[in-house]
Amino acid sequence: MMQPQNLDATFSALADPTRRAILGRLASGEASVMELARPFAMSQPAISRHLKVLEEAGLIRRGRDGQRRPCHLEIKPMIEANAWIERYRELWEATYQRLDSLLEEIGAATGPTGE
């Protein structure tokens, strides 16, 4: 299982639209920094900075293929971060549905004026 500090890095990394777009591009296959920079109208150093954040969050992996060093998607942390939030949300959903029922019951017993 993922370490808590990584979860936070994942959320921070996903907060940026350029980084989400990079992940979207990598979902269709590996790419070099040059290939990634092309559609974004950004300098390679700017893209490299985004890649560093994504790499530190464990969302991508850099290859060791000589100069090219292609980037790969490392999807696991993203799935885990979303799963934890979603599971937490579902617990509250179930809990608040019980509150809905109780509110309805109390509301019916006390009438619309609250008396």
Q: Which stretch binds another protein (CB under 8 A): 26-34, 37-45, 53-61, 71-79?
A: 71-79
Nearest approach, Cβ of 13 to another protein (angstroms)? 13
Residue 37: its H or E element = helix 33-37
Using the rule CB under 8 A, is 7 a contact of another protein?
Answer: yes
Q: Select from 4, 21, 25 the least CA-distant residue to 77.
A: 4
The C-alpha angle with vertex 16 and arms to 14 and 20, in degrees rounded to 5, equals 60
Nearest approach, Cβ of 70 to another protein (angstroms)? 21
Residue 73: its H or E element = strand 71-73
Residues that bind another protein (CB under 8 A): 1, 4-5, 7-8, 11, 75-76, 79-80, 83-85, 87-89, 91-96, 98-104, 106-107, 114
